[in-house]
Structure 1
């Protein structure tokens, strides 16, 4: 296979050299383009306006449809007529040619292209479930992750932001719902048909984004398509216009919710109270409390607000993009160069040696070339790449944020009286020293991606037949570098001296290393056949795929298959598609690696039928449906789990009389030779419609998915004494409905555009292997897929809380609670659900956890927005909402550490005898806290929210001004991201989308404000 790649790559290089030489040799010579314009039935078309790029000469066809136009060999000739799609043809191909114009049908115009795997269809002809958005409709925002721009924009696509740290404001994507409790259900992301990184692209690279949701589009990808596909199409050059654009943005990012640390006096008072309630002596005497209250001695009684001291109120962000596009009949090009710079929020992070503030810089570049070699051969060459530099403190962002969030205000002074760093035996991390005396790290990632796509027409063999070859070569590498040193801190010992903790070391270079090197190759080769026969149209595609991913230190990942698709249309009214893919994966045993993935879809433009012609308000109605099978080979099992393997090392054993130790060998999990892929059976039925002269568009889909062969635990008896690879015995499903709406209409000078979408999906676990003796109310069967997020894990079972114990009598009368050594008034009271036999037994223990449908994944998500244009002014808003989602605040309310006593800003609302009726949370406890930190519904809250994700106001300068600046257009604008949030947890200072942002060790949620200018030359 490597030999094939090398030969093919060499051939492509030779082809590219020949192509460039050929294009350069073509003279810009005068020629006469001539021929006849006909309609679909071969009849001449009169009144067609024919022109060439940058040529003022126009001709119009007469009754016979004939034309002659003086132009050059590099020109592209444009054919325009109302009621027909605009057609562009290279002048060099027009020598007594027959040119067929296609009447413009609803959803079949110039702007109605939908990208599908290795093909393009008009919306009208798409019978599958596909939703798309043009990049021109997305906001220009200075965000480091492109995914967040899509929030609330596309029916069936749920975007949840997971982080906000510079360079890592990641978001998860989910298409429709979850039907597997193993995989993360992340969709396959394709850039121009290739699996590549999406989040770090610049928006101006993108032409459109489509979401493929049903089997009719996903079956093409066989074992990798079950979770859906996000299909990104990049911009290409134009043979009819030359364009230069410049976008410049500058702004600030401000933290939305950040922990508000207690002052020293409040913290010390609460700490004393917690110890007293535990039967211990107070730690801080009256002199200390007075010192904290008055600030009389900041060295002995410090009172630091570490958050205010080390977090800025705002950090700058910048984005600059320039593009150049154009071409002629032979070559069309699109080139982009962009720069992005996002600074962090840390204060006092810069010193003459290095800067430890977190910072992210990215350079994107892209060149897409389309080359018309001759009338039969077309070649596209794309080259793009990124350079990303992410900097952060040597100790890590999490460690630094944990220090400033959770270190008590009275822990130590930043500086001691003698100028040394303050610290203590309990608190050895001094935040100023962490930034200036600990070092920094720089992660420099370089990516280069290239694609060559060749298509050769075989009309001499069969009209409409073409040969297609597609090859990619992608490489990515990470270089880690930075500085490292260490520091000491000193604690006043009360006897006039200081105790040292840690040891100072001089600055050195951190261990530099190249890592994360990955090479990916894909080859797709096959045939296309596109032909119309009167009222019939047939489009057939077949492709063979070979894919390779290689990285040092692991075995190569390989994939191959054959994908086939045939599309049939009749009278531009009836459509059908059949897809069948033979796909293979090396994750399974030889002989069990391949399978077929068939799908079928059909569409009917019912509005074209005579019996609906009397419905005047309805312009268009298409009914469509699909059914099929798709796979997922990303099963949750070790690689090559179908084989038994042994490993050496670990424990050592003594053998012989010398008692010398020998390393042992141990067997890994017992193999499962019958491993197979998840099988997703998908069905979808929907409609697309337009009303009121196409001002209003409505679409709706009902969908269902059943997924079998899910990985689940092997329930062989434990007497085997060995762990086992999982087995394919699970089953789950989801079903739901989605809808989308668009409205656009002008009222005089006012243009109003509205959009909205809604998705509801409900999942259910149908089969899963559980431990022997699992009680019925603790079984997952019949419940949804998901759980409440707790760090990187998801929790499904919860205790049922019944308030807070108010006195000892209530405790004595209640079931015995065994999660703490002692239960006191102020502790959470739990319901007795059952015991070992499933019936209440007067004891609260692990048998009382109840399975639930609480989930971080919402039951429904929706988005809506509006754009108003009046004169040169425009205003745009976009909202995102979720419903039926649950979050937990256990980690939030109980954040901190043993050293700080788990006392934080929420501790002031803890239970005491005096606040028993108003307390929001159980009593404080420094130790023996197990009872009040259990997973229970006491800590659950609604995660529903509605966010104003994006808003923008802009003004386009009139032509009377721009022509003096010698530009075609100029627009200035103000934009914002994450601007407003409405939720049911407004009593808590948190972002319901990311509840821990700004707490624990998480970077704060950010609000972005930016000003920008867009110039087109």
Structure 2
């Protein structure tokens, strides 16, 4: 009942609980299989890109909230590395849970494409559709189909758009004066003397001596308030009697948020990215019975960044106090000290790095009609070769900086400045490195057979052989996979449907004892609307019930779990009279001699429905039991063993839920409108993880969610010494008024790690994902808005300085200051200020758990299509003008940061775009 209630509440909040662009009449394109929609028994969701474009430079980010069953969260926002985190129907493993992405049937990154190249994106969600992929299918499959040519004259499509990006919700840190007040308050709370005198505080407040008492907003000094994006695309579609083609060229230019005021005249350290790609898809009728399909995609890209990695640089912006030192001193030297680095100097004075990415994706497929042998027989051969590489050119240097200390007389008056210099100014030095290299070779062979007799029976069958080698730079980074697949679909009167998949799939990463596993799946469907008793039900245009059961697998884990070997650095030995330690080889982890792939047993029941020729509905319930998950077994063996215990296939997780999608489309005269949405609820539970003994059941991860947040339950703050004396002993550190008070869960009068409990939900992914879209059109004007929301999700507030202030010479945020405990504000959200490493306050607890639910406006578009009578006069077929906004607002519980970016990194952003498309 609790689960049903949660589903109901989330559905109510989402306003529209169903799918955008849900196409229940879907084509299963796995291994180029083509099953008519009315005869498909699989659970799939499809979106067509031409009707769903956004201005995002990565097409994967255009899928937020669009497809039922696809859980998608914002990842990194750096232009060249901004793939979202995606899961299909939640997470059913403690290992790698990311789905398999196939582009035209071959595993490739979705970010390699532009939106203009994509025909459709399909998510395969049940065993009936995933079993085809053997050891690759358990985490779900995303199929991307690119556009192809047409057998008629050439058509040209061109588009350009310009975007302005602005940072979204950057945290506000304390200014110099506020920081000094906070530091004095923290020292007073710690029973220590103040650091800043009244005259010092006045100097911070007035800015009378900015060299010794600076007030630097590092965020504004390092970052500017906007960046720009350019996108250009041109595509050519056409063909003749024997050849059709689709060709496209795409350019993306992104200029980032780095403030250029301090840039060196010799080089740029802007976070910028340029990418150029070109595609050619050819369909060639080599003979009347032979079709050749050739696809080529080439990419060149270059990204520029400061020499200091952005993962290191951006925390500095928030961690260095405004009062620490000036950007530059009066001598023109960078400010700094021997504890903290100058964020501006680190961003511009250490040089820059340039990454050069190159990629070639090529595949050839030959389809041969063999009906001369027997009617309905055909064969296919396909080969693909992909080569991707990244090279880094680094031009780095050192810089001179100085620390300033006031010299005071006996009365505390500043009479001089002591300048201590560090480092030295050097010239740029050059180095280069290979970032990554990835080569993938794929071969497929297939024999198809189709038979239709008496207009009652239809059979589609295929036998497939699949082989691939995926090689990454480094040792033990080459994966080889091989699959033997049989697939058969049968339909009787197009009403009663049955599908069978039998896959025997192997992987080089599996144990030497058995590298293959068997993955069957069976599914059935009933087209109820085709029955005679439904003919009088005119409101229902289409109704189908379907069910599936099957087994899929995953080999997404590293090599050598089944190997027994020695390793350097494991052990150290002592020799001689002085007990000098020498490192040597030691016995490494024990092997798993029965290494297996993860095995997922999946069940699905769903319905597809069309009503009133306007309403489309698809709904599914699903259940998955995942076994053979690799887990560390150290908790179930005694350390007396004397060696690291093996990684075993003992893990087990169950995952279950519900999803639905609905869309309504209608026209009233010149006015058209569309309402659509989707809803996914997926809950997982750890059944076994070799967790070992825990003295209390509430300490166990087993029985809870993957990524469940655990911590102490805060019940307030200590108000005075009497409150402390009358409370259980806090074992982590001595406490004073303003420190966090925790609940004693086991009643032993001591607060320790045995008092941790499950708090909130998973911190890895939400249990509920929903999206809804609204589309309006009147004559040549259209308006569309796409929303995405999540629920049953827990965030952790653990960003240093923002939520862990002052400790370790760190900064303090305005947010923390406004919500901290003081004797005057005892009903606070956060504990008192302190300069000490407070093990009581800053540990996992309900204080730092936040409701992660949010609803975002992901995309809004206003477009105008010029009248045909105007366009035809200049020999064009279409001109469309549009304005788009992305991530314009978010309703959530965080307010001071982006709920999808609760850490210090390159900013997430709002985007405002204008553009036009031309069709010739």
Deviates more, 1:862-871 or 1:383-392: 383-392
**Residues 894, 902 of structure 1: 8 Å contact kept:** no
Partner of 1:52: none
**Residues 117, 217 of structure 1: 8 Å contact kept:** no
Distance in 1, Cα, partners of 2:738 & 2:700: 32
Which residue of 818, 824, 842 maps to 2:731? 818
**How big is the shift at 1:121?**
2.4
Partner of 1:525: 445
Partner of 2:109: 197
**How big is the shift at 1:703?**
0.7
- The TM-score with structure 1 as length reference comes to 0.84
**Residues 69, 88 of structure 2: 8 Å contact kept:** yes
Partner of 1:596: 518
Matched, 1:325 2:200: no
State the secondary structure of the residue aligned to 1:906: helix
Which residue of 330, 340, 343 maps to 1:417? 330
Which blocks of at least 5 consecutive residues in structure 2 are unaligned? 1-20, 408-415
Partner of 1:923: 832
Matched, 1:383 2:304: no
Partner of 1:726: 647
Q: Kindly tell me: are residues 621 and 552 of structure 1, through their superposed partners in 2, closer, same or farther at Cα, counting changes over 3 Å?
A: closer
Partner of 2:780: 872
Instruction: Please give the per-residue CA displacement for 1:706-732, whole angstroms capped at 9, x wherever unaligned.
Output: 111222232232211100221112211
**Residues 426, 899 of structure 1: 8 Å contact kept:** no
Matched, 1:846 2:753: yes
Which residue of 618, 623, 631 maps to 1:699? 618
Matched, 1:118 2:32: yes
Q: Kindly tell me: are residues 618 and 661 of structure 1, through their superposed partners in 2, closer, same or farther at Cα, counting changes over 3 Å?
A: closer
**How big is the shift at 1:685?**
0.6
Partner of 1:313: 225
Which residue of 902, 916, 920 maps to 1:1013? 916
Matched, 1:482 2:394: yes
**How big is the shift at 1:110?**
14
Instruction: Please give the per-residue CA displacement for 1:620-670, whole angstroms capped at 9, x wherever unaligned.
Output: 1011111101111224xx512212011245666577999999863212101
Which residue of 962, 980, 1000 maps to 2:889? 980
Q: After the TM superposition, which residues 362-401 of structure 1 pair with which residues of structure 2 at under 5 Å, given as runs? A: 362-401=275-314
Partner of 2:866: 957
**How big is the shift at 1:1007?**
0.4
Distance in 2, Cα, partners of 1:264 & 1:455: 71
**Residues 24, 45 of structure 2: 8 Å contact kept:** no
Q: Kindly tell me: are residues 590 and 418 of structure 1, through their superposed partners in 2, closer, same or farther at Cα, counting changes over 3 Å?
A: closer
Q: Kindly tell me: are residues 659 and 901 of structure 1, through their superposed partners in 2, closer, same or farther at Cα, counting changes over 3 Å?
A: closer
Q: Kindly tell me: are residues 462 and 157 of structure 1, through their superposed partners in 2, closer, same or farther at Cα, counting changes over 3 Å?
A: same
Q: Kindly tell me: are residues 245 and 913 of structure 1, through their superposed partners in 2, closer, same or farther at Cα, counting changes over 3 Å?
A: closer
**Residues 864, 879 of structure 1: 8 Å contact kept:** yes
Partner of 1:613: 535
Matched, 1:135 2:42: no
Partner of 2:550: 628
Which residue of 970, 973, 979 maps to 2:879? 970
Matched, 1:905 2:814: yes
Partner of 2:17: none
State the secondary structure of the residue aligned to 1:512: strand
State the secondary structure of the residue aligned to 1:930: coil
State the secondary structure of the residue aligned to 1:347: coil
Distance in 2, Cα, partners of 1:508 & 1:468: 55
Which residue of 141, 144, 169 maps to 1:232? 144
Distance in 2, Cα, partners of 1:658 & 1:295: 58
Q: After the TM superposition, which residues 878-889 of structure 1 pair with which residues of structure 2 at under 5 Å, given as runs? A: 878-889=786-797
**How big is the shift at 1:964?**
2.3
Partner of 2:16: none
Partner of 1:830: 742
Instruction: Please give the per-residue CA displacement for 1:810-869, whole angstroms capped at 9, x wherever unaligned.
Output: 11000000111x2011111001112xxxxx211111111123562132221111102111
State the secondary structure of the residue aligned to 2:887: strand
Matched, 1:513 2:433: yes
Q: Kindly tell me: are residues 241 and 589 of structure 1, through their superposed partners in 2, closer, same or farther at Cα, counting changes over 3 Å?
A: same
**How big is the shift at 1:591?**
3.3
Distance in 2, Cα, partners of 1:974 & 1:439: 37
Distance in 2, Cα, partners of 1:482 & 1:911: 44
Instruction: Please give the per-residue CA displacement for 1:256-309, whole angstroms capped at 9, x wherever unaligned.
Output: 101212111111011111101111110111111111111112222211112122
Instruction: Please give the per-residue CA displacement for 1:143-187, whole angstroms capped at 9, x wherever unaligned.
Output: 23221100111111111002222322331111112221222x111
Partner of 1:356: 269
State the secondary structure of the residue aligned to 1:960: helix
**How big is the shift at 1:538?**
1.3
Partner of 2:9: none
Matched, 1:347 2:268: no
Distance in 1, Cα, partners of 2:729 & 2:443: 65
Partner of 2:501: 579
State the secondary structure of the residue aligned to 2:795: strand
Deviates more, 1:440-449 or 1:385-394: 385-394
Q: Kindly tell me: are residues 691 and 721 of structure 1, through their superposed partners in 2, closer, same or farther at Cα, counting changes over 3 Å?
A: same
Q: Kindly tell me: are residues 907 and 961 of structure 1, through their superposed partners in 2, closer, same or farther at Cα, counting changes over 3 Å?
A: same
Matched, 1:292 2:204: yes
Q: After the TM superposition, which residues 242-261 of structure 1 pair with which residues of structure 2 at under 5 Å, given as runs? A: 242-261=154-173
Distance in 1, Cα, partners of 2:727 & 2:153: 80
**How big is the shift at 1:516?**
1.0
**How big is the shift at 1:938?**
1.8
Which residue of 269, 272, 276 maps to 2:181? 269
Which residue of 58, 61, 73 maps to 1:160? 73
Distance in 1, Cα, partners of 2:479 & 2:695: 38
Matched, 1:993 2:915: no
**How big is the shift at 1:899?**
4.4
Partner of 1:859: 767
Deviates more, 1:212-221 or 1:963-972: 963-972
Instruction: Please give the per-residue CA displacement for 1:524-569, whole angstroms capped at 9, x wherever unaligned.
Output: 1121112221222111111111111224432432111111111112
Matched, 1:499 2:419: yes
Q: After the TM superposition, which residues 666-681 of structure 1 pair with which residues of structure 2 at under 5 Å, given as runs? A: 666-681=586-601
**Residues 864, 882 of structure 2: 8 Å contact kept:** yes
Instruction: Please give the per-residue CA displacement for 1:479-498, whole angstroms capped at 9, x wherever unaligned.
Output: 10031101121122335454
**How big is the shift at 1:457?**
1.3
Distance in 2, Cα, partners of 1:775 & 1:712: 22
Deviates more, 1:617-626 or 1:160-169: 160-169
**Residues 909, 920 of structure 1: 8 Å contact kept:** no
**Residues 271, 901 of structure 1: 8 Å contact kept:** no
Partner of 2:696: 775
Q: Does 1 or 2 have the higher relative contact order (CA < 8 Å, sep 6+)?
A: 2
Instruction: Please give the per-residue CA displacement for 1:358-382, whole angstroms capped at 9, x wherever unaligned.
Output: 1122112111111001111111111
Instruction: Please give the per-residue CA displacement for 1:963-996, whole angstroms capped at 9, x wherever unaligned.
Output: 22221100000001101211233xx312223233
Partner of 1:6: none
Q: Kindly tell me: are residues 751 and 330 of structure 1, through their superposed partners in 2, closer, same or farther at Cα, counting changes over 3 Å?
A: same
Distance in 1, Cα, partners of 2:695 & 2:629: 20
Deviates more, 1:526-535 or 1:942-951: 526-535
Distance in 2, Cα, partners of 1:702 & 1:303: 58
Distance in 2, Cα, partners of 1:655 & 1:936: 46
- The TM-score with structure 2 as length reference comes to 0.93
Distance in 2, Cα, partners of 1:116 & 1:527: 14
**How big is the shift at 1:921?**
1.4
